Structure 1
């Protein structure tokens, strides 16, 4: 007669409450802060009807504002992705005087009021400003142009790429680079085939955060853009203009259009991030 003794499994105690309670709190939190406010945008805009909604979406002023908002936000995020990676590399791989000061200054746009940033940048890049007067003889105008909007968006969103790439660089084992060098790989080959695949998911995350932050910016852009319809008017300003004119349905319709496009673009970015992460793990 064989008697098998089953091991006694002790229930592991969790520091926080169980799955059911924490999942319920999570869903409630997301519902109250995200789902209900977003749903109200579509509920208010639904009163217009499909025909009126499409007329607003296809109006030249709305299309022009969407081009300015999405174009400048995408350009600013792309520039931040390149230079953010460079700055994160310098801060993690090199030691130099003033390193901690520079690392602390990177977070300044998080704490600085956007209105202060907008006024400062407008004064700096105006035709009679310290930097604007240098570009004026070259025929380059920064303030009150899409270029000025891009500069403001770069300023307020550049910390995101740096702060997402830094932890990955910090945890990256430098012995892998040394092994690649011993096997005859050049610095460029090591960077392209070993470092970049490791950093790509974090870099895409930083790009997405920078793009989302720039897309919703209002305070700094409203000063440096000049707010000229069909030229430098951003979509958030157009929404506010409609609300000030008591056109609540029109304002929420423009907000719904911007929300749909933003969600679609962020979904594509997240899918690309997922693909890049899985592709790197399969290697």
Structure 2
């Protein structure tokens, strides 16, 4: 007589139900409330609030600085992950642990520390000031803050893929006459590209909604260094809930569209890479 094996894990129905309940409670309900609140505005009112000069200036700074910061992290995050995986040097474990420091630090502490370092009398700012380079209280300071908080996303997504990469593939490329640059550009980079895009998307998404680490170093000057999350908070403090909701909806839709585009590019890149590997085999 065969006894049916019992699993210690719950079945699909229970786990799927809990997953939907949890996502609805944590994600869908708040977003639905935001959309419902926005429907109280007419289209003309919504457009007038969302396209004020102050709001447009905050969009340009938030999305522009987030894009620049995520791009910098995509390049240097790959470099940092490469060094941590491919080389063994004294203090490597310490440097690896320091990558997660932006996750552990409260965002306000990060902002205060960056402001103290890059202000005109800070450790680094005092050396840049004679050169005419000002970081604190400028859009450049916003980019620095968003780069700081986004680096771990790229490193931690690229690092495991690089660790699992088969070294024999590199040796095969070298035996066929490929140079080191050709091996990296045509063999290693296509494999790492989906992970790099994922890290880029995560860093970009985090930067779009970042608040605590930016408000100290930016200076919060309307039309110049005011980010969109700060504008939303300002409207909430003024009890302008309709205005805050309208701007939040714009931020949400733009972020969702950009993340969807990045995910589509990642999917196409992964599919093309799999096709190439099948052809090679």
TM range (shorter): over 0.9
Of the three residues 143, 154, 161, the one matched with 1:161 is 154
The corresponding residue for 1:150 is: 143
> Is 1:218 matched with 2:211?
yes
Change (3 A) 1:94 1:23: same
Aligned to 2:63, the other structure's residue is in SS state: helix
What does residue range 88-99 of structure 1 map to in structure 2 within 5 Å? 88-99=81-92
The corresponding residue for 2:67 is: 74
Of the three residues 34, 38, 42, the one matched with 2:35 is 42
The corresponding residue for 1:3 is: none
State the Cα distance separating 1:137 from its structure 2 match: 1.2
Aligned to 2:39, the other structure's residue is in SS state: helix
Larger of the two Rg values belongs to structure: 1
The corresponding residue for 2:279 is: none
State the Cα distance separating 1:19 from its structure 2 match: 1.4
What does residue range 20-169 of structure 1 map to in structure 2 within 5 Å? 20-169=13-162
Change (3 A) 1:9 1:238: farther
Report the Cα distance in structure 2 between the residues aligned to 1:193 and 1:235, rounded to whole angstroms. 40
> Is 1:178 matched with 2:171?
yes
State the Cα distance separating 1:15 from its structure 2 match: 4.0
Report the Cα distance in structure 1 between the residues aligned to 2:2 and 2:167, rounded to whole angstroms. 41
> Is 1:207 matched with 2:211?
no
Change (3 A) 1:166 1:40: same
What does residue range 209-248 of structure 1 map to in structure 2 within 5 Å? 209-248=202-241
> Unaligned 5+ residue runs, structure 2?
277-281
* Runs of 4+ displaced beyond 6 Å: 8-12
Change (3 A) 1:50 1:13: same
State the Cα distance separating 1:131 from its structure 2 match: 0.9
TM norm structure 2? 0.96
Contact 1:42 1:253 in 2 (8 A): no
Report the Cα distance in structure 2 between the residues aligned to 1:9 and 1:33, rounded to whole angstroms. 43
State the Cα distance separating 1:127 from its structure 2 match: 1.0
1:89-128: CA deviation from partner (whole Å, max 9, x where unpaired): 0100010111001001111110011111101111111111
1:22-62: CA deviation from partner (whole Å, max 9, x where unpaired): 11111111111101101111111211211100001111111
- The number of aligned residues is 276
Report the Cα distance in structure 1 between the residues aligned to 2:32 and 2:183, rounded to whole angstroms. 48
TM norm structure 1? 0.95
Aligned to 1:16, the other structure's residue is in SS state: coil
Which is worse superposed, 44-53 or 77-86?
44-53
Aligned to 1:48, the other structure's residue is in SS state: coil
Change (3 A) 1:196 1:13: farther
Report the Cα distance in structure 2 between the residues aligned to 1:234 and 1:265, rounded to whole angstroms. 18
Report the Cα distance in structure 1 between the residues aligned to 2:165 and 2:216, rounded to whole angstroms. 41
Change (3 A) 1:173 1:45: same
> Unaligned 5+ residue runs, structure 1?
1-7
